[in-house]
Amino acid sequence: MPFLKGHKINIGRKCSKETRKKLRKANLGKVLSLEQRKKISKNTATRRPEVREKMRLAHLGKKLPKEQVAKMVASRKWYKHSEETKRKIGVNHMGSKNPMFGKKPSEETRKKLSESAKKYWGPRIDIQAQKLYERIRHSLESRIWRENVFKRDNYTCIWCGDSKGGNLEADHIKPFILIVRQNNIKLFQEALNCFELWDISNGRTLCVDCHKTTDTWGAKVR
């Protein structure tokens, strides 16, 4: 029987596991042409509202398996939007176009957001401690420590092999802020006398992208 668009002979029927495996194997690795992708995009965008609503309700409340979620996250780990895409996203979420425009979170939601932020950012750092941290990081001893770490690693990221100038950072394996707190450093002179803070065996050379993937990057260990 020839294929007829809109024919409903297969509605409600399910393929067997064997058939699904064959279909998957037949389509595995196939890459659609740009023209085909445009057609699919156009057809999806012009679906009737009632069809889109049916599709939404069909998937409402469904959760993907943890293994599939992990695969999806891993596949997009290194994905980056182009500057043009970022600009378009920003424009499409400005003002009244923003999905949160005119909405105010409830007191319960605000409390949850606050607790979540506290767990991520940790306790607030007072101004005096912040000034001490900045002075230590910009000191001559800190620059010497960083240069020694770079020299030991031959000015190369130990994870991906990147050796581009200006793209390398010296990372503390045991976080800088933990060393300061555990040694109860309150004064700049105490920091200079702390051996653990300037031990190059606690340092490693990483590029900016690799550094961001570490568990200690940014404010994760405050």
Give per-residue pLDDT as tens, 157-187: 999 988 887 889 999 999 988 899 899 999 9
Give residue 80's pLDDT: 79
Concatenated DSSP letters for the chain?
A: ----TT--TTTT----HHHHHHHHHHHTT----HHHHHHHHHHHHT--HHHHHHHHHHHTT----HHHHHHHHHHTTT----HHHHHHHHHHTSGGGSTTTT----HHHHHHHHHHHHHHH-SPPPHHHHHHHHHHHTSHHHHHHHHHHHHHTTTS-TTT----TTSEEEEESS-HHHHHHHTT--SHHHHHT-TGGG-GGGEEEEEHHHHHTSTTSTTTT-
Position 193 confidence tier, pLDDT thresholds 50, 70, 90: very high
Percent of the chain with pLDDT over 90: 26
pTM (predicted TM-score): 0.47
Place of tokens 């051996």: 195
Give per-residue pLDDT as tens, 47-70: 778 888 888 888 888 888 888 888
Place of tokens 């803070």: 197
By the 8 A CB rule, do 159 and 205 touch?
A: no
Position 125 confidence tier, pLDDT thresholds 50, 70, 90: low
By the 8 A CB rule, do 180 and 197 touch?
A: yes
Place of tokens 């568990």: 215
**What integer is the mean pLDDT of 184-208?**
93
Give residue 4's pLDDT: 57
Give residue 26's pLDDT: 86
Give residue 49's pLDDT: 82
Nearest-angstrom CA–CA distance, 75 and 81: 14
| Residues constituting the chain | 222
| Average pLDDT for the chain | 84
Percent of the chain with pLDDT over 70: 89
Q: Does residue 81 or residue 9 have the better pLDDT?
A: 81
Q: Note the Cα 125 to chain centre separation in Å.
A: 25
Position 188 confidence tier, pLDDT thresholds 50, 70, 90: very high
By the 8 A CB rule, do 155 and 168 touch?
A: yes
By the 8 A CB rule, do 177 and 132 touch?
A: no
Position 87 confidence tier, pLDDT thresholds 50, 70, 90: confident
Position 7 confidence tier, pLDDT thresholds 50, 70, 90: low
